[in-house]
Every structure is written in structure tokens, then in C-alpha cells.
Amino acid sequence: MRHHRSSTTCARLLVAALAAAVLVLGPSPGPGPSSASAASESAYLVGRGIADVTGEPGENGMMGYADLAQSTTGLHMRQRARAFVIADAASGERVVHVVADVGMIFQGVRDAVLTKLEQRYGDRYGERNVMLTATHTHAGPGGFSHHNLYNITTLGYHEKTFRAVVDGIVAAIGRADADLAPADLSLSTSQLTNANVNRSKQAFDRNPEADRAYFPNGTDTRSTTLQVRRAGELDGIINWFPVHATSMSTNNTLISPDNKGYAEYVWERQVRGVDYIDDTDPDFVASFAQSNAGDMSPNLNLQPTDGPTKDEFENTRIIGTRMFDAAREGLESDKRSLEGGIDSRIVYVDLSKVAVRPEFTPDGKPHNTCSAALGASFAAGSTEDGGGGLPIFKEGKDGGNPLVGLISGALYTGSPELKACQAPKEVLLPVGDLDLVQQKLPVQLMKIGDFYMVGMPAEVTVVSGLRIRRAVAEAVGTDLENVLVQGYANAYAHYLTTPEEYDSKEYEGASTLFGRYELPAFMQVAADLGTAMRAEVDVPQGEKEADRSAWQLPSPSGAVLVDAPQIGRSFGDVLSAPGSIYRPGQQVSVVFAGAHPNNNLHLGGSYLAVERKVGTTWQRIADDGDWSTKFRWARDGIAASKVTITWDVPPGTASGSYRIRYFGDARSLLGTVSPFTGTSPVFGVSS
């Protein structure tokens, strides 16, 4: 579907160019009409951008479930990054918020993005004012961290996937920068009660009653939407709702942005007609971000792929649709305009050695954090969302097996300090001492008018999020409802539980790396940022960890030596043809003689097209970014490949003649990669 811009949109593009010039060059000093006066009609300038961040769809271990058997075999929907640049029209101060359909944002990704932005824009964008966040989909390719723990299940580092993520984020920010135009901002909230469930209720129930009362049934049901309106039109939104992007299970091997990505797709593609291939400057952008989702599962029956149905694809669609519905239906409910300036702060803190002041601890006494360690229940995995667990380990007080205590005792006779600091957690793996994880971590605070976002590099439970919000609200002098925790931001430090939840030793507590007082430490850091922001003083950035980009060991998985078609065949030949006619609701399937998809990731493009004949031309109506298609790849012998493309004919599809095309790339023995195409026989659709 091609979305054509209106003349109003073209006019806005001209205004955007003038507004961008105002920010870069400064307002005209002379009196009378100017581009500056045009920009000053709104308090803010906002730009939006989307770009492709899809990694390797063949033989790449997937990020999230830590399951060695879960390796990519194609894609269902592409991963994308969505960026918003928000600037104060008067002062020129700006911030960037990015939501990427990836498992995590790692420090290496952030550093590479900031380096590219500096090369392109100088000091316009940097550590302080750029917030990079992840939807935390568990259905994307991994191997793009510079910390080795996260590349174990991918058998090493995947440079192509890393570059896809970095370059896509930079492209999205670049498009947002070029899209700046006067805008009005407002914030709306609604309640969404059937899209998440507390997967660690036993731990949640250990919290004080005053905290538990804030979350009936142990769930955070608040859906928050930042609205961007330009020339009176809704041009973009950022929605925050806490739920894991784990509707797709560890059994799935197709790349998917999961439920958050489906919500984005519905609003952009199905409702607003965005064409991701042709519309590099779309008329609408919808980011569905995370908040304090650490203990919030989309599997409503607390079993993997269970809830609302037993079908993981259907669950992805339903939960995504519910998030979309809540955001759109809540546009006018509890809505308020944002007023005030733009500001931001960031600090890097060594979480392995924070001295926590008494005002932030539950017992009113000073405490310390310690070197990162994973507990026994970490190895059990999250039983409600599935994946990665070892059968000898169980969630709970002793890891489910007396052997765990023996292992822990043997390992830590030489380090009683670490064992004592991490207590009552049974330490399984000292990932900090082994330099497997990041310990110097960023905490960020952004102010947009009177709305505050706390960028946390962790999976924050709902009560942990509440306590951080309270600390920041008090520090900046605002109401609690004006502060939101943005999880999965800028780096990754596993989970963040309250001290009370930590004692339960569930999966989330065992994955709280820096000991029982990690949350109080983060509260202290966030509150200090708020105090500095309120006083309008800068904070030292703090020491970052060493650049590890040169230390990466390339993974052998997914590497392509040579492609060859099946004997007697050519690349792109149809091995299995579709039927002659289909009706809406039926599935069309075509098998092609293919090649390894990692040869060319087709970023910004597609591996496939579903085309309808219109007159004498063929018109693309779907591609590999659409929900209705699936692209599956499999080896067929040593060097040959089979590519299966399916299309679920959507309701309302017009009757007519259709075909499916496949766009592949083959590698020769000399390493040359050459494109080819395959085209199915024509088939009919009768509605």
C-alpha cells in the first residue's frame, strides 16, 4: 500500500525545514516576521523518524530466552527503530527518545550510535540528551552485545546484526532531526486491565501494604501516551505500558517485534497507511515503549504461549491490539497539555560499590551494593514466560536443589564478602568479577515540560518503579503522576527488584545483580539527578567502562561460504507453486530455490512482495514487514536453500490476479554476492 502525502503535509515539510534552520542557526535578531516567529507559535519543535534495524534472519541465536536451540530461520515482521526529537522552540534545548524493536540496548550499541551522531551533527546530540530504549522483544537475533554473557547463545558476536541495529537507530534519529516542525504536546492516560499479569506475585506480596495498594492484583494497568500534534493533526505518539514482549515463545524462530511491534504496526500501517519501504518520511509514527515491566507478563494464564489463547501468534496480535486500543481510546481521557522547558541529565555509576544513604533504605541504615552476581534461580529461567531454564534449578528459596547450596558454598569460601553482600541470594555465578556484564551503568533523567522520564538500564518491577518515581517526584518537586520510569534504557543490567522482593529469591530477585540494596542505590542516583535538575546545575558524567568493540570474537553461526541452487535448478525457481484460487482467510504458500538470507539483510526493503495486477502493472500490497506474510528459510543440503513464503489472505482483500515475488542474494565461491528474483505463477483471489 502506497501512502500519498497531502498538500498539508508538504506545507508542513517546508515549515519543518525553517524550524530546523532556527535551531541550528539561531533566531533572526531583527524585528518583524521571521522563521523564528513562525516556530514560536508552538512551544515545541518535534521531529519523527522510522528506520529498519532487522538483524540476521538465518542461523543467528535469538536474544532473550537464552535458549541455544532457538536460532533464526526467517522472519515474520521486520524490527524497526522509532525516534522522536523534541526541542524547546525558545531555547533550542532538545532531547531524543528512541524505541527500538530489539531485546536490549547494550552500551556498545549506545556508544556506536553516539559516535556516528557526533560525526554527523557535532555536539547537537550526545550522552546527556539521547535516550535509547528497547521494546525487549525475545524474537529478534542476538549477538550484538560487547559483553560476553549475552553472546553465549549466539556462539559469539554478530557484526551484521550489530551494524543493523546501530545504523538503523542513527537513521531514525537523522530522519527525526530533518523532520522538526512546530508541535503541541499533551499527555493522556488510560487504564488497560487485560494485557498483563504479575508473574512473580509471591515476591510482590512481600512489599508493604502501601506499595501493594497502588497496584490492584499486583499489576500496573496505567497506559501513558505522549501526543504530538502539528498543524492540529495527530502526527505521532509515544505510549508507555509495562508488559514483557514475550507473547512469542522460545519455540518461535521467526524474527518478530512481538506485541509492542504489532501495536506500532497497527497504528502506523493499518490505520494510517504508512508504507515502510517507500515512506522514509511517514506522516505518522507510533512508538510503544516499555516502563516498569520487570514482573509484568503478557501470558495471562502464567504459562508460556498461554493467554489469552494457546496460539502465540494470536496472543501477539491480541495483546498488541489491546495496547493500541487503550492508547488510541485514551487520547482524550485525562489529557493535559505539556508546558515548560526541555532538560536532561545523565550519570554513569559503578553499581558494584555504591554507598547508599539511610534515607533510601527500608531500615533507615546505610548499606552498600557489591559486585554483580547471578543467583541460583536465574538458571531456572522465568517459568511463566519460558525459555533458558535448567531442570535442576527451580525458582524459590534454595534454587530447588540442595546441590545449589553445595556449589555456592564451595565457590565462595574464598569470597565471604561477596556472599554476605548478596545474601540471602545463593550466588551461582560472579558475573561482575568475571567481567561478563556491565557494572558502570547510566541513569538518565529527561524533562519535557512538566513530564519527567527516568531512564533505567534494567527490567524494573512495578513496585521498584513506584519507589523510583516517588524519589524523583520529591526531588524535582512535582506530583507522582508526572514521573514515569523508562526501563530498558541505554544499557542492560538485568532485573531490579525491591529488597523485599529480592528476599523471595524468585527469578527476578536472583537476576538483581548488585545485591539487596540495588534499588535503594538507583533511587539515590535518580533523586540526585532530580535535585541537580531542579537547581539547574550540571552533574559530572562519571566514569564509563572500557570500549570492548575490538575484543569481540565473531560467531561461526550464520556465516555463508557459498550458495548453490538445487541440482537442475536456478536461483529463484519455483519448487512448489500456489493453487489457482484462494479466498480471504486462506493461506497461499510458495517454495523457491533460494540462498542464505544473511548475504543481504535488505534493510529498508523486503525479501518478498505480494503483488496484485492493476491494469497492465503489478502493485505491491504486502511485504515482509506485514503481519499477513511469513518468510521461512532452511538449508537444503550443504549449499542449497529452500525459501517458503506464505501469505494469509486478509479479510476484505479485493478479487483479482495476484503473484508472490522473492528477492534473494547468492554468494559465489569467490565471495561475490549477486541479487536474483523469483516469481510465482499467477493465482486468483475471489472475495
Nearest alpha carbon to residue 442 among 430, 454, 457: 457
Q: What are 314's three cell numbers?
A: 494470536
Gap between the Cα atoms of 173 and 126, Å rounded: 12
Q: What are 427's three cell numbers?
A: 550466588
Nearest alpha carbon to residue 72 among 555, 620, 682: 555
> How are beta strands 233-240 and 285-289 bridged, if at all?
parallel
Nearest alpha carbon to residue 461 among 430, 428, 487: 487
Gap between the Cα atoms of 132 and 110, Å rounded: 7
The set of residues, in sequence order, having a beta carbon less than 8 Å from that of 143 and lying 6+ positions away, is 55, 60, 61, 63, 151, 154, 156, 157, 158, 161, 162, 555
Peptide bond into 424 cis (omega under 30): yes
- Residues 249 and 305: beta-carbon distance below 8 Å: yes
Q: What are 177's three cell numbers?
A: 532531526
Gap between the Cα atoms of 496 and 517, Å rounded: 10
Going by the DSSP 8-state scheme, the letter that residue 280 receives in this structure is S
H/E run at residue 592: strand 587-594
**Dihedral over alpha carbons 72, 77, 79, 82 (to 10 degrees):** -170
- Residues 639 and 633: beta-carbon distance below 8 Å: no
- Residues 484 and 451: beta-carbon distance below 8 Å: yes
- Residues 385 and 139: beta-carbon distance below 8 Å: no
The set of residues, in sequence order, having a beta carbon less than 8 Å from that of 581 and lying 6+ positions away, is 683, 684, 685, 686
| Catalytic residue flag (residue 297) | yes
DSSP-H helix ranges across 450-498: 462-476
For cell 502501601, what's the residue?
A: 210
Nearest alpha carbon to residue 388 among 65, 136, 154: 65
> How are beta strands 197-198 and 140-141 bridged, if at all?
unpaired
Q: Say which of 71, 247, 249, 297 is annotated catalytic.
A: 297
Residue 204 amino acid letter: F
| CA 205 from centroid of its chain's CA atoms | 29
Gap between the Cα atoms of 474 and 138, Å rounded: 35
The set of residues, in sequence order, having a beta carbon less than 8 Å from that of 413 and lying 6+ positions away, is none
As a whole number of angstroms, the longest Cα–Cα distance in the chain is 80
Gap between the Cα atoms of 506 and 161, Å rounded: 32
Q: What are 424's three cell numbers?
A: 540471602
For cell 535516550, what's the residue?
A: 131
CA distances to 66, 266, 301, 529 from 195, rounded to whole Å, are 24, 16, 11, 33
CA distances to 580, 611, 613, 657, 668 from 617, rounded to whole Å, are 20, 10, 6, 11, 33
- Residues 426 and 104: beta-carbon distance below 8 Å: no
Active site residues: 297
